[in-house]
Every structure is written in structure tokens, then in C-alpha cells.
Structure 1
Amino acid sequence: MKIAFTAPMKPLDHPVPSGDRTMGRLIVKAWESLGHEVTIASRFRSWRKDGSDSIQSEVRNEALAEADRISADWQQSGYRPDLFLTYHLYHKAPDWIGPALADRFDLPYAIVEASRAPKRQQGDWAFGFAAADEALKRADAVAAIHNADAECLAAVVPHRCLSVLLPFLDADPFLAASTNAKPLAASPLKLLSVGMMREGDKQRSYEVLAAALGELRDLPWHLTLIGDGPMREQVLGLFPPERITWLGALAGEDLPAQYARHDLFVWPAIREAFGLVFLEAQAAGVGVIAGDTFGVPDIVRDGETGMLSPEGDVSALAANLSRAMREPALVDRLGLAARHHILHFHTLSAGAARLEALAEKAMRNHLSRRETKDA
């Protein structure tokens, strides 16, 4: 199968690392693992930091010009995909290219990781919200990345087109690291957090984490921080220097060993869509202490592979951490269950199977759409 791929939120070769970019690359890798041919149709980025009718109208015109360019290239080369797939669509990153090309070439059109915030129907993002809704209505298959998003999408996406495609990762390096190096938990617990140090939700997560650990000064713990960014000094200043080790931003291949050297992964997950780091930690046999945010409970099983608390609740996060610090055996049980959980539900092969089912749904619904149109 030939798949044309685009990511209007962030192209796969964007220079800034992120979970979004990583997930996009994993989707391509999963498709290719099944023998499909994936072509990056466009690197066009529709995402904008600020919204207004004039800004997004200009983006739409640029996107449609890009669709014209791609269309001409396809016609000249004779290329025709079997499926057009858009990764990550919402009001700040609408997709005009996929629907335009799907209509011109009579293609099945699918979206992975779509979300919808009805409060954006009015105000600065109304233009982008309406454009994203049009793409959702045109799509033959739409996959939310977690159940909370699926509930919002159900208002505009027909049931036959909507599904939840749980996130996944290339788990092998993390599973290998936990097999070879994972120690039993012991006091003081070795805690780990991985996150970019930037303004907004990431900084707020660090602030909540620091406040929770501040309530546990009398208990033994040590925290390793992996990440960097413009708010580095402010973030590091939140924690007692004698209780942290900062490793900076590490290359992806260096992360599995670091996860496996720690007892527990902790991250408050403020406004986190799902958190690829939670999949990485669990694959390395590390249990999770986190905020119960959006898609986090879809990938972390509360009480089995981790312990979740209400988003932003400092005292509840501290209570879960306190229990873990007092019960190292519990930490080991969480880590073992976490590894099995990933192995059975969130590997690359599991993700590939879910993507294959999505493609089949798109093709089936596209055929039905064509038959209805021709009737």
C-alpha cells in the first residue's frame, strides 16, 4: 500500500525534539514495518502560535497552493497513493492539503491524533476550528489518541469513522535495558523525570513536582532530571541541589539505560495529551507516579503499573510518592507490571496492527461514500 503522509502540527524533521515529532516518526516506522511505502507528501506546517481570521486565512491560501504543487507533481510523475494520512490535527494546525488532494484524486483520507476543543468555536481560533472540523467531516477514518479526545470528536465525526488508536513506541531498546540492568528498588528511591524545560505546561509540571517533593523533605529520595530548555535555571532552582542530578538533554539512544537505572518515574503531566515518556518508563520496567490527565490513564494503569492523582494536586501527588518511598516492594511490583503492560499493548507491532485496522476502515468508508455519491 502507498501512503501519502503529512504532519501539519510539526514536520517529522523539525529541529526541536518533542513527543509529537517522535510519535509521527513512529507511525511512519510502524507502517513501513508492515511493508507499506510511506511518502512524505508535504512538510508544510499550518501550526501558528497566534490565531486570527487574517492569519489563518493566509495559512489556508498557502496550504492550498501547496496542494496545487503536490497535485501537479503527482500528475507529472504518475504517483497515486492508496491512502492520504494526516497526523495531528486541531484548531491550531488545521489540514487543508489532505482533503484537497483526497477530493482531486478520489483517495481514502484518514487522520491520526485528532482533537477538538469546542470552546475554540469562537474567538481568535474560530477560523482554524472551523477548518479542522471540515477536515474531520471529510475524513473516512479519524483516530483519537485517547478516550477523552474521542468523546469530543464524536460530536462531528460519525461513529463508523471514529476510533481510538492508543499510542505506542519502539519498545525493544527499553525492554532490553530493563532486562539487563534494572535493580530492585531500595531506599532512598531513585526518582526520574524527563521533560523539556520551557515556559507553560512543562514548567508548571516541574513546579508541581517540586512542591510535592517539598512535602517529603523528611523522606529519603534522589531525583534525576533529564531535559533542557530556556527555563533551565528556573526549573533547577525549584529543587534542593543536593537532592538532584541534572543530566541535560540526552540523545534518544541514551535514554533506555537511564530509565532502567531508576526506581520510579514521576511527572505531574500538566495538560499532557498522553506523554510518550510514560510509555518509555514502563517499557524499561519502571512504575509511574503521575497526574491523571487526558490520555495518561489510557496508558498508565492506576494501581497496577503506576499511581495517578488529580492533575495539579500537589498533596495527592505527594501522598502517592510517600507511599512508594515507604514500600519499595510496591515499586518493584509496579515496574514489573508496567513492563508486561507495554509488551502486550504498546509495542511497535501493536501500533502497526491498529494502524492497519484504521486504513481498512478508511478504505471501507471511502468505498461506501463513493457508492452513495454514485447512487
Structure 2
Amino acid sequence: MKIAFHAPLKSPDHPVPSGDRQMARMLIEALRLAGHKVDIASHLRIFLRDSSQAAFSALHHEAEREIERLRALWRRDGPPDAWFCYHPYYKSPDLIGPRLSAEFSIPYLTVESSYSSRRNQGAWKLAQDAVAAGARQAAVNVCLTQRDRQGLEATIPDGRYAMLAPFIDVMPFQSLGRAARDGFRLIAVAMMRPGDKMDSYRMLARALELVVDMPWSLTLVGDGPARSEVQNVFSPLPAERLDWAGEKPPQAIAGMLAGADLYVWPGCGEAYGLSYLEAQAAGLPVVAQRTGGVPEVVRDGETGLLPAEGDLVAFAAAVRRFLADETLTAQFGERARRFVFEERSLSAASRRLSEIFDVYVRKMA
């Protein structure tokens, strides 16, 4: 099928790296692996930073111009077979795809659409109305977490839903061996910015203060506007235990993970977190919180430990458990790697998308 792909929050070609951009790119690769021809239909960013009516109106005007451009293009060259929208939500609704899909009678699909009634404020309510309308129209809403599916079903019980587990490209980890290292090394990979990321850094620093009696070192991979604040919250810890690696290109991350023993990241406000899958693909167990979509990517008690959300003492105890037992760490790491390679790879996602298309899309195209 010829698929028009749109990610209203961040185009796959956006210059700033993020989990959203990474997942958009991987979805395109999974679709292509399944035999589809995928084109990025629009690079227009539809992002409503605050619930401003004026801002929402301006986005609508930009979307109208994009609709006119695509309408003319499709009338000349023919429409695609389907429109595939990644991650519409209350700040970033798809204001293009549903209109054109209805006009040209092609299937409309969403992936990682989300809806939360507590966001129904000001222009965000208008944006959520657009998200809900798109979900109702969709031939299928592909959900990456049960939380997203439940949020949609609560508002649109008659919608069509299918599950696709979060996944990564395991190729960079395929021939990766465990790198030689001195001592027990922890690692975390995340941007340094205010909000949820800062909350996770703050919790991690406080938890590590509770295990400072044990031997370990921590590599922090990432950078961003909150770097100085992150450094400040880690200042009570011995400086010699901290390796500030800074931002690294994606191709370097796999090797850095392979040089560590344990991935530690609380995951405050985490939708699911692709970094958890990358760490496990490198053979690392994970310590995170049992929150949001994290249980969708880490198997508690098998590939990592997920203490309750906000339980700082339990988080520290989980880290201590791995620090004290190298055999346990190795067992969890082996299971983690097998889990990602067998169930969360690009090829596994491609097969699952083919199943979803066969059930929900091909009969409408």
C-alpha cells in the first residue's frame, strides 16, 4: 500500500532528537519492512503549547493551507491508499488527515493516540475533540500501551483498537559483546530538561545517596537546558563516582550501554521509554518505577525491578539488590536481551503491523 505518514508533534525529519522522532522513524521502517511504500505527507508541526484559542486558530489556518496543498497534489497524482498518523494528543491533534481521508475515501489510522478528560480545558478541549473525532473515524487505533487504549475506550467505546508493543531496531545490538569494565557501573540515558526528566534525575540522585555505602559508579548520558540543575542535585554524591558523558550520537549509545551493568532511570511521567528497551537489548537489567507505560517495556521480576511509583526507599533497595548479587544481575540481563530480541524487534513490529492491516485496513482500501 501507498501510505501517507504524518507525525503532527514532530516530523521524522525534525533536527532535534527525541523519543517521538525515534518512534516515528521506526514505524516508517516497520511499515516499509512489511512491504508498504511510505511517504511523509506533511512536515507541519501542530503543537499547542498552552490552551490558547488564538494559538489553536492559528494552527487551524496552517492546517487548512496544508490541506489545500495536499488536495491539489492528490488530485494531480492520485491519493495514497491510507493516512497513518502517529501520536495525536491534546497538544498535537491531527488537523489534516481526517479531513483528507474522508474527502478521498481512504482509511485513516492512528498510532499512539491518547485522550484524557482531565485535559479538557480551553483550546485543549478543542484539540481533544479533534483527537476523539479522528479516533472515531479511524479504521483502527493502534495503541502502544494499555493505558492509552483504556483512555480512548472510555471516551470512544465503539472505536476500533489493536495493540502494538513498543519496539526498537535491535541491529545495533546484534553483535554487541559485554564490554570490559572495572567495578559495577550504573547508566542512565536521558535529556536534561525541566519537568518529568528533571523529576527522574532528582529521584535517582536521592536514591543513590541511600546506596552510597556500596561500590558503584554512574554514567550519565545526556545534555540539555537543565544540565546545571541536574549536576546540582547529584552534588551530594562523591564526584569520582559520576561520569558526565554528555550528549552522544545514537550510534554510540549501544556500546556505552554494553559497558555498564545496570540501567537506572525512575521514569517519572514516562509514556513507556524506548531507552529501557535499548538497555535490555544490550543485556542490562533495569530499575525503574512501576508507572505509566514502563511495565509495557520492562517485565517486573524478570528483566528488571519496578518498585511502586514514588517509593524512593524501594527504588534504592532494588538497586542495592543488583549491586549485591552479580549472578542475579547476569540472569536478569540475559532474560532482558532475549525478551527484546524475540518480542520487541523491528521485524516483530512489522509482522504485527501486517496482521493489523490485514484485519482492519486492506478491506477498506
Task: Establish whether TM, by shorter chain, passes 0.5.
Answer: yes
For 1:35, the equivalent position in structure 2 comes to 35
1:91 aligns with 2:86: no
Q: Give the counterpart letter for 1:24 in structure 2.
A: A
Q: Give the Cα separation in 2 of the matches to 1:276 and 1:39.
A: 24
1:207 aligns with 2:197: no
> Per the alignment, in what secondary structure is the counterpart of residue 39 of structure 1?
strand
Paired residues of 2:53 and 2:122 also in contact (CA < 8 A): no
> Deviation of residue 65 (structure 1)?
2.2
1:275 aligns with 2:270: no
Q: Which runs of structure 1 show a deviation greater than 4 angstroms over 4 or more consecutive aligned residues? A: none
> Per the alignment, in what secondary structure is the counterpart of residue 87 of structure 2?
strand
> Deviation of residue 277 (structure 1)?
0.1
Q: Give the Cα separation in 2 of the matches to 1:157 and 1:258.
A: 43
Deviations 1:276-307 (A, max 9, x none): 10010011111100111211101100000000
Match of 1:362 among 348, 360, 363: 360
Match of 1:348 among 346, 349, 355: 346
Q: Give the Cα separation in 1 of the matches to 2:121 and 2:159.
A: 28
Q: Give the Cα separation in 1 of the matches to 2:61 and 2:358.
A: 32
Distance 1:149 1:85, change over 3 A: same
For 1:150, the equivalent position in structure 2 comes to 149
Paired residues of 1:175 and 1:339 also in contact (CA < 8 A): no
For 1:238, the equivalent position in structure 2 comes to 233
Q: Give the counterpart letter for 1:41 in structure 2.
A: A
Q: Give the counterpart letter for 1:221 in structure 2.
A: W
Aligned ranges 1:268-347 → 2 under 5 Å: 268-347=266-345
Q: Give the Cα separation in 1 of the matches to 2:142 and 2:211.
A: 41
> Deviation of residue 89 (structure 1)?
0.6
> Deviation of residue 315 (structure 1)?
1.1
Distance 1:157 1:140, change over 3 A: farther
> Deviation of residue 365 (structure 1)?
7.0
For 1:20, the equivalent position in structure 2 comes to 20
Aligned ranges 1:177-196 → 2 under 5 Å: 177=176, 180-182=177-179, 188-196=183-191
For 2:49, the equivalent position in structure 1 comes to 49
216-225 vs 232-241, which deviates more?
Answer: 232-241
Q: Give the Cα separation in 1 of the matches to 2:363 and 2:267.
A: 36
Q: Give the Cα separation in 2 of the matches to 1:283 and 1:44.
A: 33
59-68 vs 225-234, which deviates more?
Answer: 59-68
Distance 1:138 1:365, change over 3 A: farther
Deviations 1:280-338 (A, max 9, x none): 00111111001112111011000000000122321111110111111111111110000
Paired residues of 2:89 and 2:114 also in contact (CA < 8 A): yes
Paired residues of 1:288 and 1:305 also in contact (CA < 8 A): yes
Paired residues of 1:283 and 1:338 also in contact (CA < 8 A): yes
Query: Which consecutive unaligned segments of at least 5 residues does structure 2 have?
Result: none
Q: Give the Cα separation in 1 of the matches to 2:39 and 2:82.
A: 11
Q: Give the counterpart letter for 1:215 in structure 2.
A: L
Paired residues of 2:185 and 2:218 also in contact (CA < 8 A): yes
> Deviation of residue 67 (structure 1)?
1.1
Distance 1:6 1:364, change over 3 A: same
Q: Give the Cα separation in 2 of the matches to 1:251 and 1:192.
A: 16
Q: Give the Cα separation in 2 of the matches to 1:172 and 1:159.
A: 39
> Deviation of residue 175 (structure 1)?
3.1
Q: Give the counterpart letter for 1:36 in structure 2.
A: H
Paired residues of 1:12 and 1:24 also in contact (CA < 8 A): yes
> Per the alignment, in what secondary structure is the counterpart of residue 154 of structure 1?
helix
Match of 2:214 among 200, 219, 222: 219
Q: Give the Cα separation in 2 of the matches to 1:160 and 1:82.
A: 21
> Deviation of residue 124 (structure 1)?
4.7
> Per the alignment, in what secondary structure is the counterpart of residue 5 of structure 1?
strand
> Deviation of residue 364 (structure 1)?
5.6
Aligned residue pairs total: 362
Paired residues of 2:166 and 2:296 also in contact (CA < 8 A): no
Q: Give the counterpart letter for 2:100 in structure 1.
A: L
Paired residues of 1:170 and 1:347 also in contact (CA < 8 A): yes
> Deviation of residue 80 (structure 1)?
2.1
Deviations 1:166-194 (A, max 9, x none): 111110212321xx2356x98x4210000
Q: Give the counterpart letter for 1:14 in structure 2.
A: H
Paired residues of 1:109 and 1:362 also in contact (CA < 8 A): no
Deviations 1:143-181 (A, max 9, x none): 12111111111123456611221111110212321xx23
Q: Give the Cα separation in 1 of the matches to 2:99 and 2:122.
A: 26
Q: Give the counterpart letter for 1:252 in structure 2.
A: P
Query: Which consecutive unaligned segments of at least 5 residues does structure 1 have?
Result: 368-375
Paired residues of 2:153 and 2:159 also in contact (CA < 8 A): no
Distance 1:121 1:143, change over 3 A: same
> Per the alignment, in what secondary structure is the counterpart of residue 192 of structure 2?
coil
Q: Give the counterpart letter for 2:188 in structure 1.
A: S
For 1:121, the equivalent position in structure 2 comes to 120
Q: Give the counterpart letter for 1:50 in structure 2.
A: D
> Per the alignment, in what secondary structure is the counterpart of residue 148 of structure 2?
helix
> Deviation of residue 122 (structure 1)?
3.2
For 1:371, the equivalent position in structure 2 comes to none
Q: Give the counterpart letter for 2:293 in structure 1.
A: G
